[in-house]
Amino acid sequence: MEETPDLKQPNDCTSYQEEMGDKKPLLPSQDEKGERGKSSLSSASFNVINSIIGSGIIGLPYAMRQAGFLLGMMLLLAVALINDYSIILLIKAGNLSGTNTYQALVRKTFGLIGYIILSILQFIYPFLAMVSYNIITGDTLTKVFQRLAGVGPGSILANRHFVIVITTLLFTLPLSLYRDISKLGKVSFLSLLLTLVILVIVVVRAVTFGPQIPPTVDAWDFAKPSAIQAVGVMSFAFICHHNSFLIYGSLRDPTMQNWSNITHVSVSFALLVSLVFAGCGYSTFTGYTQGDIFENYCKNDDLATFGRLCYAVSIVLTFPIECFVTREVISNVFLKGRLSMVFHIFLTLLIVAVCTSLSLIYDCLGIVLELNGVLSAIPLVFVIPAACYLKLTDNHWAHRDSLISVFLFVTGISILTVGFVMTVLHPQQCSHGKEMFYCLPSNSSIMNVTFPTNVPQAETVPTSSSLS
């Protein structure tokens, strides 16, 4: 990548967090320590990795089902490369405009209209994420509770509506009422650890359980018609632009070379984890893969139950951070960032209530991931960084960065448009809450699952087309 002038350290490393309400990085900001710009390259890399590897990873096997396995793996690699370039491009644009936050960059580049559009996107992303979190909580905890003695399918603890409501009232709502996001700082570290535990479980089950599940007819097709929606899901899993300026500003030596090295290392590690997770998850269940991969595992699989519990805990603890982001976007746009205690409580209750209501009405995670990907992640990763750079740069149109930016902009707009239309017109269906056929009879051990021998496979095993 061509050399660019070193960026000056922002005057206030925490301004981005304060103005945007975005997730607090795993390591505390330097201002909280009474210092500025003291982060090492390794600690900054860890922050970026944590921003990328999160709850979105759970939908990557589903993205493989949508795109086709081989094309899906190639698209995942392409999304990672684009994400890598886009993060660097975002900081370049900040350098050109003399700004140190995403919102300040867009406002200076495109004025009030751009600021409002970005704010809407930054509202949609965490809002739909909260809806997906509630759906996952209902899916996972109901199956965890059913492993307890005396809790059967007819128990109230097996009712996803009850579980979502009670979890909201006891955990997510009280945590969401915090005014200071720093009180939730340790959540990111715990969430990352739990995600790595889930990765190990998925890999183990790919080896021990995958061979027992007959693949669907089109399991290893190179490409499938829903590849565009798959890009949205992948982008949702990889987005980390919300923390880029903050992490860059915390560097001891904030130069483009250092930032490029950090970005390359972080995205490469996240890509490795994502490829393993997506590959193992999809190869286990092929055409039966659900938006929430844990919906595929049998209810009596104790290892998967432990994974469900880990994921549910991670989701419950991450929900308040997304609520903080959503609340701050509303506060910044309509109230100039000033919220009284009464209105803070009212707005939090309203946001949580709407998210909970939507998750009670709709229970299929796949379409939520698709919509969040194409409506918010694609513009934030592909379109806006490229548009800002193109307007700010003085480079010739044939310059490499200009050409790549044009490619990202056009590609992003195309994926957003086509992906949204296809998601609305051809929504993917899911077998939410149902025990998969390969788990029958229900009282069999997961390591001894047997399939009917007196029924032809064509009748026993539905094709992926029948699932979608």
Which domains are present in the chain?
17-467 (1.20.1740.10)
Contact 439, 298 (CB under 8 A): yes
Q: Where are the beta strands (DSSP E) in 345-449?
A: none
pLDDT, position 247: 81
Write the DSSP string, 38-90.
Answer: -B-HHHHHHHHHHHHSSGGGGGHHHHHHHH-HHHHHHHHHHHHHHHHHHHHHH
Name which of 129, 141, 131 is nearest 55 in CA terms. Answer: 129
Write the CB contacts of 281 (distance below 8 Å, at least 6 apart in sequence).
Answer: 60, 61, 64, 202, 206, 289, 293
Write the CB contacts of 108 (distance below 8 Å, at least 6 apart in sequence).
Answer: 97, 98, 99
Tens-digit pLDDT profile for the chain (468 aa)? 444 444 443 444 333 333 333 333 333 344 444 445 567 788 788 778 877 876 678 889 999 999 999 999 999 999 999 999 999 999 989 988 988 888 889 999 999 999 999 999 988 888 988 998 898 888 889 989 988 888 888 889 989 899 999 999 999 999 888 876 555 556 667 777 888 899 999 999 999 999 989 889 989 999 998 899 899 889 988 888 877 887 888 788 888 899 999 999 999 999 999 999 999 999 999 999 988 888 899 888 999 999 999 988 888 878 887 888 888 888 888 877 777 889 999 999 999 999 999 999 887 777 788 888 888 889 999 999 999 999 998 888 888 889 999 999 999 999 999 988 888 887 766 656 677 888 877 444 444 444 433 333 333 444 333 333
Name which of 257, 5, 203, 239 is nearest 102 in CA terms. Answer: 239
pLDDT, position 394: 86
DSSP one-letter code for 13: T
pLDDT, position 428: 67
pLDDT, position 15: 39
